[in-house]
Amino acid sequence: MQIFNSLTGRKDEFHTHEPNVVRMYVCGDTVYDFCHIGHARSKVAFDIVRRYLEYRGYEVNFVRNITDIDDKIIKRAAENGESIQSLTDRFTKYMHEDYDRLGILRPTHEPKATEHIAGIIAMTQQLIDKGYAYVASNGDVLYSVSKFEAYGKLSGRDLEDMRAGARVAVEEAKHDPADFVLWKRAKPGEPFWPSPWGDGRPGWHIECSAMSLDLLGSHFDIHGGGMDLKFPHHENEIAQSCAATGDTFATFWMHNGFVNVDDEKMSKSLNNFFRIRDVLDSGKLRDPEVLRFFLVSSQYRGPINYSLVQIEQADAALGRLYTALRDVTPASAFEPSEATRRFEEAMDDDFNTPDAIAALQTLATEINRAKSAGDAALASSLAAELKKLAGVLGLLQSAPEAFLQKGVGASSLSDADIEKLIGDRKAARAGRNFKEADRIRQQLSDAGIVLEDKPDGTTTWRRN
C-alpha cells in the first residue's frame, strides 16, 4: 500500500509502528458554528482511510479531537449571552448529527481540549525546561521556533521568509516574530485554568500535540487534516511534539484538498459557503449518501468542485448502483472476482476512490447482465461483492427500493398516489385500453416517476 506523505512529498510504502495496528490522529472541529461541506470533505476522506485499513485487517485506533476553547468560541458565547459549555455542547451535538447522516463512523476517541489541560500544561513545562519555550513579558508562554532546526520541513517554508512577512510591531512580547503561543495569559472576563505561569488557557496548536501524546503515544502512524492545516498548525505540532518528547511524532502526514463551489474557492466573503445540514435539507438531494458519493468521487488530495450539476451526476451514478441491486438478494458468501482485485489495487494506490468506484460500476454492469441472462446465482454472488466493496466507501447502505423511491425536492405525488396510478394503469392494460395506460405512464413520467415493467406482470417504480 502506497500513501502520499506530505512530509516527504512522495508516495511511501505504508508501514506501521506496531504490527497490524494503525494509530491515527485527525484534526477535528472547533465547535462554535455549524459544519460546512469543507468539513464534510475532510471527515469523509479520513473515514474512508480508516474503513479501508480495517478492511485490510488492521486494528485502527482513530482519534479525532474537538476544540472547545479558543478566541472564536469565547467571542461567540459572549455575543449569544450564553456559557461556553452551552455553546460547545450544542454545536458538538449538531456536528455529530451531520456526520452521522453522512455515514461517518464515530472515532475511537474524541478528546476535548478542556479535558486535557493537565497534559497541555505538562508539555508546555517540558518545552520550557528544554529551552524551546519561554514566558514572554505579557505573561504568555511562547514557542521559540529558532530553537527547532527542522522547523518548516512539512510545509517547505523558510524561516527567514516567515520573519520578513511578520508584523513585529504588534508582537513586541515575542523574541522572534515567527514564535507562537503555547499558553495564553487570561484577560479579564475570560475563562482560565491555573498554571505555573498564571491563570490562562491553551493555545490552539498545543492541544493536538498533548491529546495525541496521551491517546496514541509519542510516535504514531498517520496524522491527517485539511490542506489549510499544513501551516501553521501541523508545522507547529511537529515542532512542539518532537522537541518535547524527542521522538518521531507522526510517520505519515496526509492532507485533503479544498472544496470549490462552481469553480471558485468556497468562502464566506463570496457567499458560496454551504453548511452540511443546509445541503442535506435543501430538497436537491435524494439522500445524504448522494453527497457522500460526490465527495468520494474525487481523489482526496485534489480539489473538488461542488455544483448542482455535480450533485445530479452523483445522484445518477449512485442510482445506477442501487438499480443493479434491485430485486437481487446478495449471497451470504462469494468468490471475489476481478473487480475486487481492481478495487484493492486502486485503494492501495493512495486511496484512489475514483478508480475504486469504477470497479463498483463494472460489478453493477455484470449484475445487470446476469439478471438479463436469468442467472440468479451469479447475480446474487456479484451483488454480495458489490455491497461489501461499496461498504468500504460507506456506500449502498440503504435498501435499493427505499433509496430509489426517494424523491428530489417536493413531489406532487405521494407513494400512495403512485401506487394507485400504477394500479389504474394495470387495470387499463388488462382492459386493452392502451391509450389510457400510456396517458397514466406519461403522467407519472412528468412527475419524475420511472416505471419498470417486469416479465411476470408486476411493475416497480423509482423517482428520477
35 is in an annotated binding site: no
Instruction: Please name which of 334, 315, 440 lies closest in space to residue 387, comparing C-alpha atoms.
Output: 334
242 is in an annotated binding site: no
268 is in an annotated binding site: yes
The long-range contacts involving 414-418, CB below 8 angstroms and separated by at least 24 positions, are 418/444, 418/449, 418/461
Compute the distance between CA of residue 185 and CA of residue 195 in angstroms, rounded to an integer: 10
- Are 167 and 177 in contact by the 8 Å Cβ rule? The answer is yes
| b/e 372-408 (16+ beta carbons within 10 angstroms → b) | eeeeeebbbbbbbbbbbbbebbbbbeeebeebbbebb
Contacts of 399 (CB under 8 A, 6+ apart): none
Compute the distance between CA of residue 163 and CA of residue 364 in angstroms, rounded to an integer: 56
Write the Ramachandran bin of 263: left for phi over 0, alpha for psi from -120 to 50, otherwise beta: left
208 is in an annotated binding site: yes
Exposed/middle/buried for residue 297 (C-beta within 10 Å: 0-12, 13-18, 19+): middle
Helix (H, G, I), strand (E, B) or coil at 165: coil
Instruction: Please name which of 333, 380, 379, 386 lies closest in space to residue 359, comparing C-alpha atoms.
Output: 386
Compute the distance between CA of residue 371 and CA of residue 323 in angstroms, rounded to an integer: 11
Q: How far is CA 252 from CA 200, 211, 242, 350, in A?
A: 33, 18, 14, 12
Annotated binding-site residues read 27, 208, 233, 237, 268
Annotated binding-site residues for Zn(2+) read 27, 208, 233, 237
Annotated binding-site residues for ATP read 268
